[in-house]
Structure 1
Amino acid sequence: MKTMKNIIKCLTASLLVVNLSSCVDLDPEPLSFFAPENTFMDKEGLEALLITSRKQIKWEWFGDAFNAGYCETPLVYEYAWSDISVMGAPEVKEIHNLETQLTPTTNMALHLRYWDLAWNGIKYANTLISRVPKSNIDNEDDKNQLLAEGYFHRAYWYYLLVNQWGDVPLLLEEVTGPKLDFYSTSRMKILQQMKTDMEFAVKWLPKNVQPGCVSRAAGEHLLAKIYLCTGDFQFAVDATTRCINDYGLHLMKERFGVNASDASLDVFNDLFQEDNISASENKEAIFVVQERYGIEGNVAPKGSARMRNFVPYWCNGAAVKTPDGKQGTTYDAGPYEGYEWVEKLGRGIAKIRPTNYSQYAIWGKCGNDIRHNDNNWFNISRLTYNRPASKGGSEEYFGKPIERAFVSDTMRCYFSFPTVKTLIYKDDINVGKTPTGGFTDTYVFRLAETYLMRAEAYYWLGNLPLAKEDVNEIRRRAKAPELPSVTLDDILDERARELYIEEHRKVELTRIAFLKAQLGQDGYSLGNFSEKNWYYDRIMEKNNFFAEEYFYSTNAFIMKPYHVLWPVPLTAITSNTQGRINQNIGYFGAEDNIPVE
C-alpha cells in the first residue's frame, strides 16, 4: 500500500492535468483521472482526497500572476463588481466596461478562474462521495464522517456557482469517462440538494478538528447560508444559533495572542495577526485556510497577494508628484531614509479600488470604531513623500504629507484602506526587498459573520429586535455606537465593515437579489430577473464608479442589470455536444436556451 505522502503526490500529479483548461470539467475530457478499481478505497486514501479538497479552497484566497499563471487572487472578482469596490488597474489588464469586456469569450482569467475552481472542487468531492460506499472501510461512523466532509466541499462550491452563474449542471457522482451530455439544472433544485446533503453533514462532521480542517460548526455555518438562499429563515436561525452556542466558540472581546501585551493595539488587530488566526485561544475562527512559509502543500509559493491587490499604488512616483514637480514616492528596495513606508505598506498596485460607500459612507456614524482606528485602517492623508533627493525626489518636501492636488492618478494611487485585512508582514521571501504580501492563515468562516447571518435571518422573519441585537453584538466589540433599529442596509453595512476580504461580497448581494425576486418584494420577480434585480439597483445606489459611468484611462465603468450573473464560458457550451448548458440572459448564445428542471 502506498504511504500517505506518496498517495498525495500521485493525486496531486493527476489533478494538475485538470487545471490547464478554462472549462476543465465541462470539456469533452474524462472528469476523473483515477482508476476506480484500486485507488482511494481505504480510509487513508479517501482522507488524501479530503486534503486535496481543502487545498482547492486555498486557491481561492491566495496567489497572483507570479505564482499561479493568473493575474490576481480570484477573490478580487467578488469585490470588483460589488458595492464596495471596482477594478483599479487600467482596462488593458482589467474589466471596467462589463457590457463590452465581460462576454462568454472573455479571456482575462477573471470569472473563469472561479469556474475552474468550482468544477474541480466538485470533481474532488464527488470522487470521494462515490468511493466511500465502495470502500473497504467497515466502520459506518468513519464512512459517514468522510461523506459529511465530501458533502461540505461540494456544497461550498455549488453555493458560489449558483450565486455567480445561476443555473448550472448538477453533478452528484464521480464521472469516470468522457461526458458530453451535461444539462443545466435550476438553481433552486441544486440548493435543495445541497440543503439535504448539509443536513446530513452537520450530524456527522467532527466537533473538534485541527485548524484547516472542516468542523461541525463550519458545516452549520454553510448550512445557514444555504437556508438563507432557500428562504428557510427559521432553519437559518437554528443553524446559526447552534454554531454560536454549541461548539465552544465566542466572539473575541479580550486581548489575546502574540501582541496581547502591546497596549497600543486592540482585539480586532489581534484577530488578524498571522500567528493568532489558527491559535487555540482564538475561539472566533470557524474555518481557516493556511499558508505557511516553506511548508509542503502551499498553493502560492510567494504567499498571499492581498497586499499587492488591495493596497493603493502609492509608490508610483510618476503619478505622485511634489509641488515642485519632482517624483514624490518610490518602492525601491532599502535601506534608505523613507524606506519605512515601503516596509509598512508594501508595493500595492490597486487591483481593487474602494468606492465612496466603503471608504467613507459606512464609517459616517461609527464613532470610535476600532476597525477604523490607526491600528486597523490607513488614512491616506498620513502618507508622506518618501523619495529621497538622492533618488530624484524633492529635498524640500521629503517627509511632508502628500498633497492630493499633485497626485495625477487618484484612482489608483490615493485612497484609504483597512490595513488589518491587507497588510501581511511575514514576508519571508522578500526580507530586505520590496514586500508584496507574505504568508498567513486566512479566515473562510468567522463567528462574526455567523452573527450577521442570524441577524439577516431574523430580519426576513420580521424579528427586528433580535436582528438589532446580533448586529449590536458585533458593534459593541468594535466599540461602535449601538443602533436603535436595523434595516437590511444596516446589516450589509456591518458586513462591509467587519468582513472585508473575508466574505464573498458579490455572491452575498446576488443571493439577496434572488431572495427578493423569490419573495416578490419591492417589485422584483424571477420572471424578469436579468432585466430588473436588486443587485444592480444596489450597485447603482452605492458604487459611485458604475453609477456615474466614471471614465478612467480609455473607457468607462459600465454595468447593466444582466450582469447580476456572469457569462458561462462559450467553450463549456460548445464542447457539450450531446446536452445543453444554458447561457445567462443578456449574453450571446442565450437565445438557444432550453427549459431547466
Structure 2
Amino acid sequence: MKLFKYIKVITVFLVMLSLSYACDDYLEEEIYSDITSENFITQDNADQLVIGVYSSLRDVYNQYTYQFLGTDIFTSKSEIFSFSATNDYFNLNSGTGLGVWSNNYSVIGKANTVINRFENQINWSEANLGDRDYGIAQAKALRGLAYFNLVQQYGGLVIELEEAQTIRTDYARSSEAETFAQIISDLEEAIPTLLDNPSTGRISKRAAQHLLAEVYLTRAYTSAGSSGDFDTAAALAEQAIGSYDIRNQSYAEVFDYDNQENDEILFAVQYGNSGLAADKSNNKHSLFMNQVFNYPGVNRTTTPYGVSGFGAMPTPFFYSLFADNDTREDATIHRAIIADSDEPDGPDNIVAGDTIVYYPKNTLDAEELAERLDRYWVYQPDQYLFGLPADVPGVNYLYSLNIERTNFPIFKKFDDQDFNEDTDGARDTFVYRVAGTHLIAAEAYLGASNTASALNHLNIVRERATGVANEYTSVTIDDVLNERALELAGEDNRWAVLKRTGKLEERINLYNPHVIDHGAFDASTHLLRPIPANELQLSDGSLIQNPGY
C-alpha cells in the first residue's frame, strides 16, 4: 500500500479479504458473498482482518536484497568485475527499495484498520471483549514489527496510526527518536494481552518480547538511546528465552522440513502447499544457490536443491567461519551436488547418485585435485567467483561472462520439498528463533558491560553447534557477529545488524569481494536507504529525502 493512496472503506475490506489467507489450516480465511462495509465486520468474522495483516507479512519477508547484499557474509551473485548498486553502494538511488517501504506500510495500514474497526465499528458482546483486545494487541505488535523493519533502513518515518480513508499528501517524517518511541509503545501495549501459546502462525508474547528486546538493543546504539537500553534489552531477551533449552535439538533438526513447527521457533511467516489457504510464494530456497540444474544429471523439476532465483552468494569469509567441529556447516550448505537422474547419453554416462560438483572445505593439493577433476567438477575455496573448470585444464579458471558460471556451495538449510519450476516454495520463513534471542542477550549484556552473562548466552549457542561447553572464554562484538553469521545466516537482517553495531563499513571492506574490488560505500549516505522516489513525488514536498540521495 502506498503511503498516499486513497482507500475507500469497502475497498479495504475486499482487498483484505482477498489477501487474508495463511497456510496449513492455521490461519484460514472464510469466503463471504454480498460483502458491504456494513455487514462484513462483525464479532464473528472480525478475525479475518487480523489474518489479513499476517498475510501481508509474506510480501515483507519475500524482500531479501536489502537484508543481505552489501554485507560481510553475502555479496552479489556475479563475477568480481560485475557491479550491483545494492551490494557495491554504487549509484544507489531512490529507485531502489520501493518494495521494502510499500510492503511494510501495507502491514501498517492493515493493522491500523484492525485497530480502528475493533475499537469503533464492531458491536462486541461482553463475553467477546477479550477477542477485541487480543485482535488489537496482535495488530499493534505487527505494526511495531513493520515500523521497526523500516526505521532500521530509513531512519525517522511517517508515523500513521489511523485508518486511511481520505486523500492525504501532507505526510511528514517524525524523528528517529519519535519512531522508536512509537514502536516501543505499540509493543509494550501489546505484550500483556498476547498469548503465551497462540495458534500456529500468530505472534506470541515471547516473540513480541524478542522483538522489543531487539528494538531496545538497536536504540541503545543511537543518539535516541538511553543509558538503560542495553539492560532492558537483556531483560526482555531473558523473558523471551524463558526455560527453553536450544540444546535439546540439533541445528539440523531445527531446519528439518518436517519439523517446521518446533519449539525453538518463536515466530514464522507461514506458507503452504495444499487447500484453500495454500500459498507457495516463498522463494527463500532459491536465493543462495547457482544454476545447479545446468549440470548433467540434475533435473530442474526433480532436483532436491530447488531452482536459482535472484539472490545473493555467501562470501568466502562466511565459508571460512565454520570450524571443523561445527555441525551447522553440514546443515547450512551443500558441499557436493549429487545427480538425481540418469543421463546415459552424455560423455560421462551420469547415473543418479553420482557426485557432479564438489566444493572442498580446504584447498586441495594438485595431486588430489587432478584425481577428483577426472570424476567431477571441483571448485576450490578461492575460485567461487570464476568460470567453469573446463575453461582451462587444471586449477587456473578463467573469468566467464555467463552469470551461471559463478559457482559456490549452495545453501541447504532452506531446501524446500515443494517448489515449482520457478522459484516459489512452501517452506515457512523463520522470523525469530530462541537461538537468535540468546545472541540478542549476548550483545545486550556486552553493551551493558556484563561480560559473564554475555559469555553464557554466546556459549549456549556455540555448545549446541560444536558440543564443546564454555568454548568462548572472552567476548567481543566481533565474536557475537561471527556467531550470528554461523547461526542465523539468511534468516536475520544482516545489514541492519552490522549497521546497528557500527561494523558495516569495516566488515564489508574486509570481507565483501565486490566491495573490496570496486565498492563505493560512504558512511555519510549509505547508513540510511533512499526514500523511494515515487513516494516523494506523491507528497507535497513535506516528505524529505535522506541525505546524499
Q: Which interval holds the TM-score relative to the shorter structure?
A: 0.7 to 0.9
1:26 aligns with 2:4: yes
Q: Which residue of 2 aligns with 1:44?
A: 44
1:242 aligns with 2:239: yes
Instruction: Mark the CA change 1:409 to 1:315 in structure 2 (over 3 Å): closer, same or farther.
Output: farther
1:172 aligns with 2:135: no
2:429 aligns to what SS in structure 1? strand
Instruction: Mark the CA change 1:310 to 1:31 in structure 2 (over 3 Å): closer, same or farther.
Output: farther
Q: Which residue of 1 aligns with 2:427?
A: 440
1:295 aligns with 2:290: no
2:259 aligns to what SS in structure 1? coil
Cα-to-partner distance string for 1:209-245 (whole Å, 9 max, x where unaligned): 1211111111111111111123211111121111111
Match of 2:305 among 333, 345, 353: 345
Q: Which residue of 1 aligns with 2:176?
A: 187
Contact 1:202 1:216 in 2 (8 A): yes
Match of 1:284 among 243, 248, 264: 264
1:402 deviation in Å?
3.0
Residues in 1 aligned to 2:71 and 2:497: alpha-carbon distance in whole angstroms: 10
1:386 deviation in Å?
9.2
Contact 1:149 1:214 in 2 (8 A): yes
For these two proteins, the number of residue pairs brought into alignment is 473
Instruction: Mark the CA change 1:333 to 1:176 in structure 2 (over 3 Å): closer, same or farther.
Output: closer
Contact 1:384 1:402 in 2 (8 A): no
* 1:376-525 map, 5 Å: 376-379=332-335, 388=343, 390-391=345-346, 399-402=375-378, 405-406=389-390, 408=398, 413-419=406-412, 421-427=413-419, 429=420, 438-479=425-466, 481=468, 482-513=471-502
* 1:547-566 map, 5 Å: 547-549=516-518, 557-561=519-523, 562-566=525-529
Instruction: Mark the CA change 1:80 to 1:39 in structure 2 (over 3 Å): closer, same or farther.
Output: farther
Contact 1:165 1:584 in 2 (8 A): yes
Residues in 2 aligned to 1:356 and 1:198: alpha-carbon distance in whole angstroms: 38
Match of 2:104 among 118, 122, 135: 118
Contact 1:121 1:154 in 2 (8 A): yes
Q: Which amino acid in 2 is paired with 1:425?
A: Q
1:510 deviation in Å?
2.5
1:277 deviation in Å?
1.2
Instruction: Mark the CA change 1:102 to 1:43 in structure 2 (over 3 Å): closer, same or farther.
Output: farther
Instruction: Mark the CA change 1:89 to 1:372 in structure 2 (over 3 Å): closer, same or farther.
Output: same
Instruction: Mark the CA change 1:44 to 1:228 in structure 2 (over 3 Å): closer, same or farther.
Output: farther
Match of 2:255 among 272, 290, 299: 272
Q: Which residue of 1 aligns with 2:285?
A: 307
Q: Which amino acid in 2 is paired with 1:78?
A: Q
Residues in 1 aligned to 2:39 and 2:181: alpha-carbon distance in whole angstroms: 31
Contact 1:165 1:568 in 2 (8 A): yes
1:101 deviation in Å?
4.1
Q: Which amino acid in 2 is paired with 1:38?
A: E
Q: Which amino acid in 1 is paired with 2:52?
A: T
1:288 aligns to what SS in structure 2? strand
Unaligned residue ranges in structure 1 (runs of 5+): 1-17, 19-23, 62-72, 255-266, 318-328, 335-341, 514-533, 550-556, 588-597
Q: Which residue of 2 aligns with 1:64?
A: none
1:370 aligns with 2:327: yes
1:217 aligns with 2:193: no
1:251 deviation in Å?
1.4
Instruction: Mark the CA change 1:359 to 1:268 in structure 2 (over 3 Å): closer, same or farther.
Output: same
Residues in 1 aligned to 2:507 and 2:431: alpha-carbon distance in whole angstroms: 25
2:7 aligns to what SS in structure 1? coil
Q: Which residue of 1 aligns with 2:33?
A: none
2:267 aligns to what SS in structure 1? strand
Q: Which amino acid in 2 is paired with 1:424?
A: D
1:443 aligns to what SS in structure 2? strand
> For the aligned residues, what is the CA RMSD?
3.1
Residues in 1 aligned to 2:7 and 2:138: alpha-carbon distance in whole angstroms: 24
2:117 aligns to what SS in structure 1? helix
1:204 deviation in Å?
0.6
Residues in 2 aligned to 1:100 and 1:31: alpha-carbon distance in whole angstroms: 40
Contact 2:266 2:432 in 1 (8 A): yes
1:479 deviation in Å?
1.6
Residues in 2 aligned to 1:222 and 1:388: alpha-carbon distance in whole angstroms: 50
Q: Which residue of 1 aligns with 2:123?
A: 136
1:498 deviation in Å?
0.7
Contact 1:155 1:194 in 2 (8 A): yes
Match of 2:510 among 499, 520, 541: 541
Q: Which residue of 1 aligns with 2:58?
A: 58
Contact 1:55 1:297 in 2 (8 A): no
2:75 aligns to what SS in structure 1? strand
Instruction: Mark the CA change 1:383 to 1:141 in structure 2 (over 3 Å): closer, same or farther.
Output: closer
* 1:186-205 map, 5 Å: 186-205=175-194
Q: Which amino acid in 2 is paired with 1:575?
A: L
1:469 aligns to what SS in structure 2? helix
Residues in 1 aligned to 2:209 and 2:260: alpha-carbon distance in whole angstroms: 20
Instruction: Mark the CA change 1:96 to 1:443 in structure 2 (over 3 Å): closer, same or farther.
Output: closer
Contact 1:220 1:240 in 2 (8 A): yes
1:372 aligns to what SS in structure 2? helix
Match of 2:195 among 206, 217, 240: 206
1:464 deviation in Å?
1.0
* 1:82-121 map, 5 Å: 82-89=71-78, 95=85, 99-106=89-96, 111-121=97-107
Q: Which residue of 2 aligns with 1:259?
A: none
User: What TM-score does the superposition give when structure 1 sets the normalisation length?
Assistant: 0.72
Contact 1:536 1:564 in 2 (8 A): no
Contact 1:26 1:576 in 2 (8 A): yes
Instruction: Mark the CA change 1:219 to 1:452 in structure 2 (over 3 Å): closer, same or farther.
Output: same
1:153 aligns with 2:142: yes
Q: Which amino acid in 2 is paired with 1:44?
A: D
1:178 deviation in Å?
0.7
User: What TM-score does the superposition give when structure 2 sets the normalisation length?
Assistant: 0.78
Contact 1:290 1:440 in 2 (8 A): yes
Residues in 2 aligned to 1:251 and 1:474: alpha-carbon distance in whole angstroms: 8
Cα-to-partner distance string for 1:426-476 (whole Å, 9 max, x where unaligned): 34x56xxxx856322231111111111111110110011110110100111
Instruction: Mark the CA change 1:347 to 1:330 in structure 2 (over 3 Å): closer, same or farther.
Output: farther
Instruction: Mark the CA change 1:580 to 1:269 in structure 2 (over 3 Å): closer, same or farther.
Output: same
Q: Which residue of 2 aligns with 1:3?
A: none
Q: Which amino acid in 2 is paired with 1:416?
A: P
Residues in 2 aligned to 1:43 and 1:389: alpha-carbon distance in whole angstroms: 63
